[in-house]
Structure 1
Amino acid sequence: MDEVTFKSDTVLSDVHLYTPNQRHLMVRLNSMRQPVFLSQFQLVWNQDPRIDSGTQGDDHRAVPTEETPAGTGSTGSPPGSSCSSEGSPTQAGADVTGQEGAGAQLDEDGDLDVVRRPRAPSDPDPVWPLRDKVHPMILTQEEDEVLGDKARESSTHDIIRIEHTMATPLEDVGKQVWRGALLLADYILFQWDLFQGRTVLELGAGTGLASVVAATLAQTVYCTDVGADLLAMCQQNLALNSHLTGSGGSVVKVRELDWRKDELCTDPEAPFSWSEEEISDLYNHTTILLAAEVPVFLPTVFYDDDLTDALFKTLLRLTHRLQNACVAILSVEKRLNFTLSHLDVTCEAYDHFRACLRQLEQLRDGPLRFAVEPVEASFPQRLVYERIRQLELWKIFVEPVR
């Protein structure tokens, strides 16, 4: 496939947008005859948390640092994980604002000299060491030839492989990788002790990237979405990363969970249906719920407030059935659009999402109490992507009323 073409009704994730055309090499066609690509996302462990923790902003420059020791809580590799920092490149979205020498720089005439991010590695005389351009490497079936010997050595412990599609129709955006899933994955790796040995439910898992990361720590992960083709992609991605998810004895199950339905599918003839034992385990042991890329959207222009409402209704329904207090962690990318109705740049979907959070927090007449708080995106960045200011994380704490 020499070139990616676009139609008027297709959209492309920012994660894949800047991938050079020569790397758009597909590995297969899915059951809907859509081209499927394989990307590798490398975990970066040898970053100084003082540098890579403040990554909100447009300046993402990496500075070589000393290796951060593993087993040091949130600043290193999670204890018990098989991730190693040997041979890992010193690259992650790093904001060096406030570092030494960050004061105002003047040129010889006394004018303010603004240091800008180099546009490409080919730019002459860059001021800072350059990080790799932000895009995943797309692999062919001849994967070994593309990765090389050094990458093959590290692939078993610090590379996540994800199959996905690109430039999908609006209704298939879940088959792409989005920045919200990468932000959520970073937070899981940061708060590893929160996930260790727990039962986790991901809603609207898409390609399953966040479930893959959660499964490196959790005891059981239920990776859920709708659509047999999408769920088959999730299952394939979990199989591709079994060297990570199976190392700690975790159990990962891909199941259908439709936000528009009150009950889980238990039809044994249906693909990805639930058994009665699984439903019992889900309600008895789940303490963490995940959802990436909320508000629910059909990027980059069309949003679906009805689906966002359905997600919050699903959260309400599930939390009332869970036997334990739990926390829901939601990632959101605030996408701004110019609307004719306002003749201004707005984000009505984000406003609707915030309104849903407020309504949830104001519920007082039920057996549960909901507390909502934003999560500061200052935790280390272990995956290579643009952690822009519009990316947010929100926590919803659910506890019984006493």
Structure 2
Amino acid sequence: MSSVYWQRNLAICFFGSFINIVAMTLLLPFLPIYIEQLGVEGHAQIVQWSGIAYGATFLSAALVAPLWGRLADRYGSKQNLIRASLGMVVSMALIGLAQNVWQLVLLRFLVGLAGGYTSGSYVIVAAQTPKDRSAWALGTLASGIMAGSLVGPLIGGVLPAVLDIRSIFFLASACIFLNFLATCLFVREEKRVAPARTNSTSLPATDAGLSNNQRTVVFSMLATASLLMVANMSIEPIITVYVQQLVEAAGSVTFYAGLTMSAAALGSIISAPRLGKIADRIGGLKVVAASLALAGLLLIPQAFVSDIWQLIALRFYMGLALGGLLPCVTALIRHNVDDRSVGRMLGYSTSAQYAGQVLGPVAGGFFAGHIGIRSVFIATCVLLLGCALWIGQLSVQQRRKALCDKLPVDV
């Protein structure tokens, strides 16, 4: 059922998601520096704590995402958005008051528990928008989220030169508070009629209407979503430390780190719709396999760059390669499950991504601290190429099966 307020809801959710993602990502360029200010010494310890602190948010988010989803179904999506925005206001301000690295990790964990504004925005926009405009509305919302991922590291790279790091967190909290007020005052949610309960709801989501072939594709995409986040997040938290080795001027490290992170986001924004169109034409599995392979190969020169601009260019090209992966993964899941299972399976996809966002920073910090930063790029390359080979084989199997299904039966 659509709402007469859907355009206003979309506008509020667009800017609200943008602000929340900016607040979540602006700390990336200066996170290792903040950890050092909190008393952590030594290169290995700094990169490891950077990975742990960054991954803590996604660990807690993965644990509570199903709970927030059920509560949103019961009490409404607007209440969920209000809860998430208010929780972010409090938790971001508290991060600016952290006195040691353990408190920082705990507060980053709290961010994941309290957050969920962007996922809640997807729910309310999808539910309240007319069906013939829902694809455009969700695409618009996604562009706001990706723009936040682009702008956040850029702002985080510039602000430490003009503001104390603790003040940056207070500023972010104040911006999210404006989002909280806008959500309370302007978002309107029309009540939905609860569907009648049937015996089918007791079926496990993975078995409801799925053939063996569909189940293979769905679980492969869930694993791909998780591995993609492992690959991306294993590198993001240590970019600043890597940039320190490439930039002579210490005062410009956070600026170049933010520029490096934003380059990948810009590449993804540019390529996502184009890769989606290609996937519609030639098949999603082919695009996923090719994108993973290209991204894996691009990681090799990143491990051996000698100039910051080489790293920025390569991160941009990697963003181009990876931009359409998550939309393709989502589309493949939707195409291989029935209507009763779509929401649950997409929820599992979100949980798989969160799991990757937890494992990636921790693994990247471990490799960087004990073996060296360049080893993170090589290990991630091997991971992506292995996944590309796996998805490529699956694509070949699916194509062979499709051809066999078309052959006449010899009777």
**Which bin holds the TM-score, normalised by the shorter protein?**
under 0.3
TM-score by length of structure 2 reads 0.27
TM-score by length of structure 1 reads 0.27
Higher relative contact order (CA 8 A, sep 6+): 2
Bigger share in helix = 2
